[in-house]
Amino acid sequence: MKITRLSSRLIQLTRYPAVFPMNCYLVVEDDGLTLVDSTTSSPADDVAAMVRQLGKQLSRIALTHAHGDHVGGAAGVRQRFPGVEVSIGQRDASILAGDKTLLPAEPQTEVKGYFVKVDWKPDRLLQAGDRVGSLEVLASPGHTPGHVAFIDVRDRSLIAGDALQTRGGIAVSGDLRLLFPFPAMATWSKQTALKSAVALRELRPSLLAVGHGAAVSEPMAAMDRAIESARHAFG
């Protein structure tokens, strides 16, 4: 995997960087490391190398949403690091378990994208406002009904999962970029995704780290462009 140190607290690990980039992240905490997302296949070897290099344990895995290219690698990491706590947003936990039934209050559009069968259950179900180490959980539905993002309260780095992409051009989830159309094709509710992107922008993040594509520092102007483009595209 390609390793990019975004700051002393945030390391990006990218599977298939040239062809189909999928990011996961290691967040460095005083008491250990948190892995955010896991790509399609286990990043355990690379995580183990970072664990050795940083002299810290892997404490937690936090998942932004239930798509296979974010949760697929978690099984291998759990095996390599027994006792690690795995968390995911409460709403996407049912999707992870195979139930794509929509709630009455939700937009009644199809839950899309690539899913894998997992042989494990999350240890912890996240709600907005919860903390995973220094990461605050942010509701960011739209790409999936229960998508969550994470902001590091120490430096306001935002790990946005697939709420936005930067590969092929920055975009709100659902706003198609021809050079990398897959996140848009896997998006459940574009209008909901747009509201979430606006809410994330309001938090004035110092860095935007996404599931697919390079991180952007001081991302506010870029996020404004993405939001404007999505408003236009979604009508």
Q: Which residues bind Zn ion (CB under 5 A)?
A: 67, 162
Distance in Å, CB of 188 to Zn ion, minimum: 10
Distance in Å, CB of 187 to Zn ion, minimum: 8
Nearest to Zn ion of 130, 162 (CB atom): 162
Nearest to Zn ion of 67, 201 (CB atom): 67
- Rounded distance, CA 103 to CA 88, Å? 18
Nearest to Zn ion of 7, 109 (CB atom): 109
CA angle 127, 90, 130 (to 5 degrees): 20
Residue 44, amino acid: A
Q: For residue 219, with 0-12 CB atoms within 10 Å meaning exposed, 13-18 middle and 19 or more buried, which class applies?
A: buried
Helix axes 190-202, 220-234, angle to 10 degrees: 160
- The one-character DSSP state at 103 is P
Q: Are 80 and 47 in contact (CB under 8 A)?
A: yes
- Rounded distance, CA 38 to CA 63, Å? 8
Nearest to Zn ion of 67, 91 (CB atom): 67
Helices (H), the chain: 44-54, 68-71, 74-80, 90-96, 182-185, 190-202, 220-234
Distance in Å, CB of 107 to Zn ion, minimum: 17
Distance in Å, CB of 62 to Zn ion, minimum: 15
CB environment 52-76: b (16+ within 10 A), e (fewer): eeeebebbbbbbbbbbbbbbbbbbb
Nearest to Zn ion of 67, 177 (CB atom): 67
Distance in Å, CB of 162 to Zn ion, minimum: 4
Nearest to Zn ion of 92, 162 (CB atom): 162
Distance in Å, CB of 125 to Zn ion, minimum: 19
For Zn ion, the nearest residue by Cβ is 67
